[in-house]
Structures are given as C-alpha cells and as structure tokens.
Amino acid sequence: MNPKCHRCQKTVYPVEKMLCLDKAWHKGCFNCEVCHMKLSMKTYKGYNKLPYCGPHYPTTKHTTVAETPEQLRLKEATSNQSGLVYQKNHQENLSKFTTVSDDPETLRNKKIQAQTSGLVYQKDHQENLAKFTAVSDDPETVRNKKMQAQQSQAVYQKNHQEELGKFTAVTDDPELVRNRKMQEQASTIAYKGTAPPGSREADGFVPDLESQQ
Ligand SMILES: [Zn+2]
Ligand SMILES: [Zn+2]
C-alpha cells in the first residue's frame, strides 16, 4: 500500500515519492512548514521531524518558531515586561519595609524576613529569565516552560499588587497596622511555600487561633 503525503494527505506513488523525516511526501509537497517554500533534500532543515526553510527554522532566539511565531513573540515580550515590573514592585516594597516605625527589634525581624523573601523572589525570577534565554529544548517543552513561567509571574504580580495596596493604606492606628503586617507576612510565607529557617512557622508553630480548636 502506498503511503499518504504528509503535506496534502493524498497517496504518494513511488515515481513521485520522497522519504524524509520519517514521512512520505510528494516531491512537490516537500516544503517549509511555515511559508511552504519548496525544499529539497539539500535545502531543508529538519526540526521535530518537520521540514523548514532557513529563515523559518526554529531557533533558540524564538524569533522564528513554527506555527504562530507572532503569538510566541508577543507572549515573550509580555512575560519579560511583567518580570521587570515585578522586580520594580519589589524594590518599592522593600523600601516601604524600612520606613515602618515599630520597636527596633520587631522592625529588624521584619526587615530580615522581607529581604529574605525578596531575595528568593528575585532568585526565582532570574531562574525564570534564564530559562527564556537558554532554551534549547524542543518547541513543546519550551512552550510549556514559558506557560508555567508566565503563570507564576502572573500570580506573583497579583499578590504583589495586593501587598502594595495594603502597604499604601497604613495610616491607621498602630494596633491595626501591626495586625495587617502580621497578615502580610503570613501570606508572604504561605505564598513562598516555605518558612524562613529558624522562624516559628518552620518549627511547626501553630498560631493561637488554631490551637484553640
Ligand atoms: Zn502531497
Ligand atoms: Zn519558510
């Protein structure tokens, strides 16, 4: 039985058959996945078992990825921007932490925690960014990684904007302010999924609220 042409799905008879990339093609159907420029065994570039012309061969730069290059480029631009915005927000948060006026000991602890979480955030970020610049996997893996990175950044940003909102509103009485800060720290810790080493949360400390049950 004669195979079907990968491009046009019609039967390929031996006289016009071309076998390449584990597929059968009509000689005239062997062309670039993106622009359909006619290719030969000498001119094609195989990627993911599909033929591409030189300009459309997927590279690590992501400027020419198969299927929807424009979409991918937009996604990348968006994620890079949100990464930058996110870091900017962080620096604003950190500077706000330094202006809180509790007693010095509390203040110092808070600062340390804030800085620690800031560093973890930034580290995560650089890892994310590094993934973008160092992608040399197959397109599917790369796409998944990007999606994940974008999702986590989106969550970061959302949390962050909530934090910013809380912080900008701290002009209430000191007790209220302190409660809010506690909540803020708790949510930051919960958000990171790990408590800073030596903190009460890390030792399995259960807040009073829950121990009363
Ligand atoms: Zn064909
Ligand atoms: Zn092409």
List pLDDT tens digits, range 126-155. 555 555 444 456 777 667 767 776 766 665
The domain spans of the chain are 1-57, 69-98
Ligand in closest contact with the CA of 23: 1
Question: Around ion ligand 2, which residues have CB less than 5 A away?
Answer: 32, 34-35, 37, 53, 56
CA dist list (Å): 169 to 15, 25, 108, 177, 180:
77, 66, 21, 9, 10
Give residue 47 CA to ligand 1 midpoint distance, Å. 19
CA–CA dist 55, 159 (Å, integer): 41
User: Does 6 score more than 90 pLDDT?
Assistant: yes
| Ligand approaching nearest to the C-alpha of 56 | 2
CA of 48 to the centre of ligand 2 (A): 15
Q: Specify the CATH superfamily of domain 1-57.
A: Cysteine Rich Protein (2.10.110.10)
> Per-residue confidence at 69, pLDDT binned at 50, 70, 90?
low
% of the chain residues with pLDDT over 90: 27
Q: Which ligand has an atom closest to residue 10 CA?
A: 1
Return d(Cα 52, Cα 150) in angstroms, integer.
28
Residue 191: the pLDDT is 57
Of residues 119 and 183, more confidently modeled: 183
Taking the whole predicted model, whether its pTM rises above 0.85 is answered as no
Number of CB atoms found within 10 A of residue 146's CB: 19
